[in-house]
Amino acid sequence: MKTVRVRRLIRCALLVGGALLSAARAARAGAQSASENVPHGRVLTDTLWSQALGGKKSVVVYLPPSYDTQQNRRYPVAYYLHGVGGDETNWTTLGRIQLAMDSLVATGAPEMILVMPDGDDSWYTTWNVLITFDQCKAGKYSKEDPSTFCVPWGHYDDYIAHDLVQWSDGTFRTKADRAHRGIAGLSMGGYGSFLLALGYPAVFAAAASHSGVMSPMYAGAHPFQAPPRYASGEQPFGELAWAKNFATVPKVFGRDSTGWWSRDPARRLQRLVAAKGQIPVLFADVGVDDPYVDQSRAFRWEAERSGVPVQYHEWPGTHNWSYWRAHVGESLRFLAGVIAK
């Protein structure tokens, strides 16, 4: 009797297992079929010469699904910046931004060209202390090969806002004007996107930050309390808790208030407002458990005090690719809504 019962249980298990396997295969087939029905863009890698850096840099580009078939069509461009320790491949290999863009297009979102440059650990600004290639190599500022990391001149803001934009407009069928350009990034790249958009408002119409280091001089309590408190000359700026994590910070920002304030996104925004300049449309998100969440809150407070709204979100998550993959579609949708009109 026990043998019969055991055989029945085995038979039942095999049937259930077979059913589950069939269901899994069907689900995979359905997902593959759905994926095949989504128009796909094309990802390519190229190099450009940067006069501002005095060298060549690699760049990854996403061309939307219709780019190769609609030869007379021009497209808006969104520039996506990586974080510290990253490179031009991060947004496609780790962030899967091309799949997010494909999915948005499949649901009716406007198509855009995406340009993802190699920004080293530059903070996307002109360094406060310019160092030679040999000094950079000897300083071991990165685990990356010095031949691709070090440059003769650290003018990374001009590299992005001038050289990269001109190269993109000259290489691809872009809509080559401010109204059709946006910039975004994560962490260091989120900082860079706001710094560049506010420093070059005639170039970029919109900026988006994911988990950006948005208020480098913030020295207030956690959680954020208004008004924000900032570091003063009594505390060496390079000794701020967040700054100790990054080898290039002393060279990029310097060691006094002049270098730090000049590279502060909120101060750039205030100067732009005072000059009655063109204000880019701004978007920022950050995880509620992100170590830089209070910096984003401080920037938002400063922006709203200046009368500039920020489309701002805090979602569950921290400072990692799981968060950025989950929310890159938000910045893509935001930028498309501004520059693809």
User: Residues with Cβ < 8 Å from 173, sequence gap 6 or more?
Assistant: 67, 73, 74, 75
* Strand segments (E) across 105-159: 113-117
- 281-287, strands of its sheet edge to edge: 42-50, 55-63, 113-117, 77-81, 181-186, 206-210, 281-287, 310-315
Segments of the chain scoring below 70 in pLDDT:
1-36, 233-236, 238-239
Residues 73, 26: Cα–Cα separation, whole Å: 39
Q: What is the pLDDT of residue 74?
A: 98
Residues 189, 183: Cα–Cα separation, whole Å: 9
Give backbone dihedrals phi and psi of 312, rounded to 5 degrees, phi first. -120, 140
Residues 183, 197: Cα–Cα separation, whole Å: 7
Q: What is the pLDDT of residue 36?
A: 57
Contact assessment for residue 231 and residue 217, using Cβ atoms and an 8 Å cutoff = yes
Q: What is the pLDDT of residue 14?
A: 36
Q: What is the pLDDT of residue 140?
A: 75
Q: What is the pLDDT of residue 141?
A: 79
**pTM score, whole prediction:** 0.88
Residues 67, 59: Cα–Cα separation, whole Å: 18
Q: Alpha helices, DSSP H only, in 112-233?
A: 133-139, 146-149, 156-158, 165-171, 188-199
Burial class (CB in 10 A: 0-12, 13-18, 19+), 330: middle
Q: What is the pLDDT of residue 130?
A: 84
Q: How far is CA 249 from CA 108, 241, 263, in A?
A: 42, 12, 12
Q: What is the pLDDT of residue 19?
A: 37
